[in-house]
């Protein structure tokens, strides 16, 4: 079986997965996403699709015409364009210290439309003591970003460092 890639909800690539890599007989999992497109494809196919999507959704022709109050063309008019908000999702990872830093909050929410938490929703952060789940920080972060219109995207479903796995 050749190496293939999988895109989930237009956000991720998993490469090099082979059937022989599967180690668990239990394949039950619940994943919630906004939209899903599960298709195997090569890196070249993904690159071509990526470029096509950019041209289709982020670029387009526009015609600007300067007119006076009577609707007549204004010859030699100077036109300037200022982008007031992003036309597509743009973001970065964030950590819990944003909750205590007003300057960081202001800077972040003016620049980004989407984020993902560095560690605050990972198993070792939400269940530091086995059997005692604590989502207090993650919930506070979710509330903050919801109030500011910043979408939160998931991060890892599993973390492959054995020290973070239950035995």
Closest to 125 (Cα-Cα) out of 101, 96, 151, 104: 96
* pLDDT digit string, tens, across residues 8-56: 444 444 443 333 333 445 555 555 666 666 677 788 988 898 888 888 8
Question: What does the pLDDT read at residue 3?
Answer: 43
Q: Which helix (H) or strand (E) holds 13?
A: strand 13-15
Which percentage of the chain shows pLDDT scores above 90?
A: 32
> What's this model's pTM, rounded to 2 decimal places?
0.52
Q: Which helix (H) or strand (E) holds 123?
A: helix 123-126
* pLDDT digit string, tens, across residues 103-123: 999 999 999 999 999 989 888
* pLDDT digit string, tens, across residues 64-85: 889 999 999 999 998 888 777 6
Angstrom distance (rounded) from CA 56 to CA 99: 37
């Amino acid at each position: 079986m050749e190496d293939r890639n999988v895109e989930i909800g237009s956000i991720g690539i998993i490469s090099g997965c082979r059937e022989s890599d599967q180690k668990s007989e239990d394949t039950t999992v619940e994943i919630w996403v906004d939209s899903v497109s599960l298709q195997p494809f090569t890196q070249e196919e993904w690159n071509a699709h990526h470029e096509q999507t950019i041209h289709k959704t982020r670029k387009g022709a526009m015609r600007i015409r300067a007119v006076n109050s009577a609707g007549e063309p204004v010859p030699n008019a100077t036109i300037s364009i200022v982008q007031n908000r992003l036309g597509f999702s743009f973001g970065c990872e964030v950590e819990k210290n944003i909750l205590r830093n007003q300057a960081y909050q202001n800077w972040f929410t003016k620049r980004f439309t989407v984020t993902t938490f560095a560690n605050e929703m990972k198993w070792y952060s939400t269940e530091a003591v086995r059997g005692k789940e604590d989502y207090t920080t993650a919930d506070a972060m979710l509330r903050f970003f919801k109030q500011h219109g910043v979408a939160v995207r998931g991060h890892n479903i599993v973390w492959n460092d054995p020290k973070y796995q239950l035995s």
